[in-house]
Amino acid sequence: MSRDLDLLKHLSERECNFLCFHDLKEESIGNQEILDFFKLNFEDKKMLLRRRFNWPLKRGLQRNTVIEGDYREKKQLCLNHLIPEKDLRWLDQLPLSYLLHLLTENLYKDNHDFRYFLLSELLDKETCLNLIKTSVDLRGQNRHHSHTLNQRLYKNSQEITESTKPITKFIEKNSSKKQNIEKWLHEYQLKNFNPGYGLDEFNRNSIVSPEHKVIYNALRSNNIELFMIKASSAWSQKKFRDSLNGKRSQSYSLTEDAIEKLEALSKEERRKKNEMLEILIERAWLER
């Protein structure tokens, strides 16, 4: 078994991902096993890869050790498909919401079961990155096709970044220590806009931040412009109501003479009209 480990220790994490995922796809393993694999740490991945090298052959024969020819064949498979890591570094800069969108709306758009499965799981950024990079390697019939897919995903990510600017700018502009704008925006979105089928578990997810939920929901529903127009209006109304501090808006009819006197008093005291009215009412109340 030590010889097995000597062979495997030369494999990179990317190669481990590719080979295991390649075998998992061929054997039609369920979604849960695929995702569980990507949630393992690196050393566990290598142990899993070792077990997969020792997997029983379909003819019923048993393999107890890794034969060198099989190792070379799998190593060559990696060399033919894996594109350079530097060409995938742009993915590391993307937030979780963008990565989820690339997974569910680009790579696995037609696989509804897997899309729902991904969104209902507690996915972190590292898991999403591993899934995307390995999918890019596997989808192409060769390295050229993988490069083409990588370029298409990069273009899509730029379109996503551009389309979500109204949301990110709104959050940045209104963020403060007193107001949790991200949480409010997510609650407003769920109350007034239907994010779409299969997103209940995702929106209840405590690991994904409210900002990423808002952006992903908006991308899925494809109504960012309308959503932000209504959300901006609702936020302005909320800020106005909060600024009243227990005050209520009232409407009364006054004579022209009373209005002129109120304006004169307000200028003399250097106060707003509503403040002047409150002072006059308070004085009258105390003098009763």
pLDDT tens for each residue of 40-92: 665 666 666 655 555 433 333 344 444 456 667 777 778 788 888 889 999 99
Q: What is the pLDDT of residue 1?
A: 42
First to last CA, the chain: 99
Let me know if residue 248 belongs to a domain.
no
Boundary-marking domain end, from 113, 129, 163: 163
Backbone φ, ψ for residue 27 (5° rounding): -90, 5
Boundary-marking domain end, from 81, 104, 123: 81
Does residue 156 sit in the same domain as residue 182? no
Does residue 77 sit in the same domain as residue 90? no
Does residue 131 sit in the same domain as residue 159? yes
Burial of 119 (0-12, 13-18, 19+ CB in 10 A): buried
Residues 219 and 163 sit within 8 Å (Cβ to Cβ): yes
Tell me how many domains the chain contains.
4
Let me know if residue 250 belongs to a domain.
no
Let me know if residue 65 belongs to a domain.
yes
Burial of 217 (0-12, 13-18, 19+ CB in 10 A): buried
Let me know if residue 72 belongs to a domain.
yes
* pLDDT exceeds cutoff 50 at 274: yes
Does residue 148 sit in the same domain as residue 89? yes
CA distance 251 to 49: 75
Does residue 65 sit in the same domain as residue 117? no
Q: Which domain holds residue 194?
A: 165-243
Query: pLDDT tens-digit profile of 87-143?
Result: 999 999 999 999 999 988 888 888 777 888 888 776 788 888 888 888 888 877 778
Q: pTM for this structure?
A: 0.72
Query: pLDDT tens-digit profile of 150-192?
Result: 999 999 999 999 999 999 999 988 887 556 889 999 999 999 8
Q: Which of 77, 88, 220, 250 is nearest to 160 (CA)?
A: 220
Q: If you ran DSSP here, which 8-state letter would residue 60 be given? A: S
Let me know if residue 212 belongs to a domain.
yes
* pLDDT exceeds cutoff 80 at 3: no
Does residue 57 sit in the same domain as residue 74? yes
In order of 177, 218, 243, 271, the CA distances from 238 in angstroms are 16, 21, 9, 25
Instruction: Please list the alpha-helical segments (H only) found in 39-192.
Output: 42-53, 68-81, 96-102, 112-120, 125-139, 143-163, 165-174, 181-192
